[in-house]
Amino acid sequence: MLEIKWVHARWEKDTRYYEIHLHQDLWGDWVLTQVWGQRGAALGRIKNVPCASYEDGITKLDEVRKKRKQRNYVSVNDK
Protein backbone atom coordinates (compact mmCIF):
# COMPACT_ATOMS: atom_id res chain seq x y z
CA MET A 1 0.00 0.00 0.00
CA LEU A 2 1.25 3.48 -0.90
CA GLU A 3 2.00 5.74 2.07
CA ILE A 4 0.20 9.03 1.55
CA LYS A 5 1.61 12.02 3.38
CA TRP A 6 1.75 15.77 2.92
CA VAL A 7 4.98 17.08 1.40
CA HIS A 8 6.86 20.34 1.98
CA ALA A 9 10.04 21.46 0.21
CA ARG A 10 11.98 24.75 0.15
CA TRP A 11 14.78 26.02 -2.06
CA GLU A 12 16.85 29.19 -1.90
CA LYS A 13 19.41 31.04 -3.98
CA ASP A 14 20.99 34.42 -3.39
CA THR A 15 18.00 36.57 -2.35
CA ARG A 16 15.20 34.34 -3.70
CA TYR A 17 13.19 31.48 -2.19
CA TYR A 18 10.73 28.91 -3.54
CA GLU A 19 8.46 26.65 -1.46
CA ILE A 20 6.09 23.92 -2.44
CA HIS A 21 3.43 22.09 -0.43
CA LEU A 22 1.47 19.03 -1.52
CA HIS A 23 -1.59 18.80 0.73
CA GLN A 24 -5.29 18.08 0.83
CA ASP A 25 -7.92 20.79 0.91
CA LEU A 26 -11.07 20.74 3.07
CA TRP A 27 -12.83 18.40 0.63
CA GLY A 28 -9.98 15.87 0.50
CA ASP A 29 -8.74 16.91 -2.95
CA TRP A 30 -4.98 17.17 -3.48
CA VAL A 31 -3.49 20.61 -4.11
CA LEU A 32 0.05 21.68 -4.96
CA THR A 33 0.71 25.12 -3.45
CA GLN A 34 3.71 27.03 -4.80
CA VAL A 35 5.08 30.09 -2.97
CA TRP A 36 8.01 32.22 -4.14
CA GLY A 37 9.57 35.61 -3.67
CA GLN A 38 12.45 37.59 -2.24
CA ARG A 39 13.93 36.39 1.06
CA GLY A 40 13.22 38.75 3.92
CA ALA A 41 10.51 40.63 2.04
CA ALA A 42 6.86 40.67 3.02
CA LEU A 43 5.70 40.34 -0.57
CA GLY A 44 5.72 37.21 -2.69
CA ARG A 45 3.55 35.12 -4.97
CA ILE A 46 1.37 32.07 -4.36
CA LYS A 47 -0.20 29.65 -6.78
CA ASN A 48 -2.50 26.68 -6.07
CA VAL A 49 -2.53 23.88 -8.63
CA PRO A 50 -5.25 21.22 -8.30
CA CYS A 51 -4.06 17.62 -8.68
CA ALA A 52 -6.11 14.71 -9.96
CA SER A 53 -4.60 12.42 -7.28
CA TYR A 54 -1.74 12.13 -4.82
CA GLU A 55 0.37 10.44 -7.50
CA ASP A 56 -0.34 13.34 -9.90
CA GLY A 57 0.79 15.76 -7.19
CA ILE A 58 4.05 13.83 -6.67
CA THR A 59 4.69 13.92 -10.43
CA LYS A 60 4.14 17.70 -10.51
CA LEU A 61 6.31 18.14 -7.43
CA ASP A 62 9.14 16.18 -9.07
CA GLU A 63 8.92 18.47 -12.12
CA VAL A 64 9.29 21.50 -9.83
CA ARG A 65 12.31 19.90 -8.08
CA LYS A 66 13.96 19.36 -11.47
CA LYS A 67 13.32 22.97 -12.54
CA ARG A 68 14.64 24.39 -9.23
CA LYS A 69 17.84 22.33 -9.67
CA GLN A 70 18.25 23.59 -13.26
CA ARG A 71 17.93 27.17 -11.99
CA ASN A 72 20.65 26.59 -9.32
CA TYR A 73 18.40 26.71 -6.27
CA VAL A 74 19.69 24.86 -3.19
CA SER A 75 17.35 22.61 -1.20
CA VAL A 76 16.91 23.92 2.34
CA ASN A 77 14.48 21.30 3.59
CA ASP A 78 12.96 18.66 1.39
CA LYS A 79 10.55 16.37 3.25
Helix (H/G/I), strand (E/B), else coil: 51: strand
C-alpha distance across the termini of the chain, in Å: 20
Q: Is 7 a residue whose pLDDT tops 60?
A: yes
Taken in order of first residue, the domains within the chain and their CATH numbers are: 8-71 (3.10.450)
pLDDT digits (tens, 9 = 90+) for 23-44: 999 999 999 999 999 998 888 9
- Can you give the pLDDT at residue 78? 58
- Note the pTM of the prediction, 2 decimals: 0.84
d(CA 7, CA 22): 5
- The arithmetic mean of pLDDT across residues 39-63, rounded, is 94
Give the neighbor-by-neighbor strand order of the sheet with 74-78: 44-51, 30-38, 16-24, 7-13, 74-78
